[in-house]
Amino acid sequence: MDVAIIGVGLHPFGRFPGVSAIDMGAIAIRRALADAGVEWRDIEFAFGGSYEIDNPDAVVARLGLTGIPFTDVYNGCATAASALTLAANTIRLGDHRLGLAVGMDKHVPGAFKGDPQDYACPSWYGEVGHFTTTKFFGMKINKYMHDHGISHSTLAKVAAKGYRNGGLNPNAFRRKPLSEEEILGSPMLNYPLTQYMFCAPDEGAAAVVLCPAEDARRYTETPIYLRASTVRTRRLGAFEVHSPWLPIEETVGATVDASRAAYEMAGIGPQDVDVIQLQDTDAGAEVIHMAENGFCADGDQEALIADGATEIDGPLPVNTDGGLIANGEPIGASGLRQIHEIVLQLRGQAGDRQVPGSPKVGYTQLYGAPGTAGVSILSV
Amino acid sequence: MAQVPVAEGIFTWPSDDPQLIASRCSACGMVMFPAQDSCARCASTEIEEHLLPRRGRLWAWTTQDFQPPSPPYAGATGKDFVPFAIGYVELPDEVKVEARLTESDPEKLVQAAEMELVVVPFGTDDDGNEVVTFAFRPVAT
Ligand SMILES: [Zn+2]
């Protein structure tokens, strides 16, 4: 059974002192309900994603205690993709007809902390300073640049596009354009990645309302169909976050596996996609993910980005709302922020950042520790 | 000042020619570091201790220019933090190991350069002992 998205809602991403994650989640849900033209009491089930909040389902205290099955999920940076996939599958099973996926988070500033043992790593891995996600991204793009001829200037161009698109998005965290010189000149964090090439943890929430495709026209004249939604974890030989060792044998990463499965499920290929959301934890990740999701061959990014291919008016528009670089990463909400943007783009409601030519097919990808990826494909 | 390893069982110490202590799957030959008691490829629990060769090639690398969150980071913090480099060194036909590198200048780190295992100090414990860990240094050519 096909599934449709009939409503999307967002609490802006950024810093909101005094506003709890639950309150942001409630605001995102109210906006998604209003967008769908339904009431909270109509919602038959929900999935909630968060890293910081143990029980996102507590949001019902702000909306009404209706007794619905409300399941909380956490799956690293793919949390929102997991909530969306589970919500869509619940409709496909025929258990319920109107449901909701919500993500909310409120992170403290600075690099994520954690216990290495929770990631199947020994304690000493953290003591010696290996337990950071940023150094993985530095290593991966540094090797990729060496192997495929990507320049430092290309990384700066990607980050500059993120801030520029963020400037067109009233819900973004970082809205001030930065020049390539400022980006390259900011402090080095993990070579070749500088401070302004990285996204930052922040706060925000996003929600979507789903129903069976056959019901969608009852609610909206512009349903957006969820053609595929997949989650995959790393296979042996993939180069992934938090790996004290890697085998000699090598294989593709979790993103490639999730992407191939999503294209197969949707019966849609990368050449059919009109607007793209990629996990840009850092500028290098956006470059690598262009190839890992099938939008170009390894190394072609250098010329494509120089030609402006990934700009809003280019043939491969990537992260039209500024991506993670401009929006930050409230982990539980980040993937539903991607869905929110694709839905606006496919409806033609993206305002100053609208991709021209009435885009028909959109694509989203999430990736994070310890090697988890989620991909969605949407269409009008 | 006494020297203590950051953890027992990860490298032979004290030793003039320290080696990393890995495990090898008796069923399929998979080599894993640090040692673990089941196989990441075939799930066998028939595992034996296996010492790794001391030389390999630099497979990927970056620098760590900001202090990792502490805890868990146990090296010097704040203004005493010393940036370092991290990389994977591919030990031929065995495994790729993630390790601190003794050279942290991007101009001097070369993809596929030959590297050798050493043990280096990186912090001080609560008892005033110097804590040592494994690292790879470029082999002088
Ligand atoms: Zn085995």
Enter the DSSP assignment of A155. H
Cα–Cα separations (whole angstroms), residue A120 to A138, A272, B9: 22, 39, 17
* Helices and strands: H and E segment counts in chain B: 0, 9
Tokens 């506003």 correspond to A19
What is the reported pLDDT for A119?
80
Rounded Cα distance, A92 and A88, in Å: 6
Q: What share of chain A is helix, strand, coil (3-state, %, to 5)?
A: 40, 20, 40
Rounded Cα distance, A33 and A8, in Å: 8
ipTM above threshold 0.85: yes
Q: Helices marked H in chain B — which ranges?
A: none
Rounded Cα distance, A213 and A3, in Å: 5
User: Could you state, in order of their start, the residue ranges of all structural domains in chain B?
Assistant: 54-138
A366 forms beta bridges with A374
Enter the DSSP assignment of A234. P
Report mean pLDDT in 10-residue bins for chain A, 380 residues: 94 97 98 98 97 93 96 90 94 94 91 77 91 94 98 98 98 97 98 97 97 97 96 94 94 97 97 98 98 98 98 98 97 96 98 98 93 96
Note if the bond before A17 is cis, omega within 30 degrees.
no
What is the reported pLDDT for A31?
98
What digits encode the pLDDT tens for the residues B44-65? Answer: 999 999 999 999 999 999 999 9
Rounded Cα distance, A30 and A34, in Å: 6
Rounded Cα distance, A145 and A372, in Å: 23
- A236: closest chain B residue by CA: B41
> Is any Cβ of chain B less than 8 angstroms from the Cβ of A235?
no
- Please, what sign has the CA dihedral across residues B111, B113, B116, B118? negative
Closest to A172 measured CA to CA, from A200, A133, A193, A209: A200
What is the reported pLDDT for A369?
82
Helix, coil or strand: residue A289: helix
Distance from the A207 Cα atom to the nearest Cα atom in chain B, whole angstroms: 32
What digits encode the pLDDT tens for the residues B83-134? Answer: 999 999 999 999 999 999 999 999 999 999 999 999 999 888 889 999 999 9
> Is any Cβ of chain B less than 8 angstroms from the Cβ of A94?
no
> Under an 8 A CB cutoff, do B59 and A143 touch?
yes
Tokens 């801030």 correspond to A163
> Under an 8 A CB cutoff, do A128 and B106 touch?
no
Mutate to test the interface with B, among A107, A127, A137 (most CBs of B within 10 A): A127
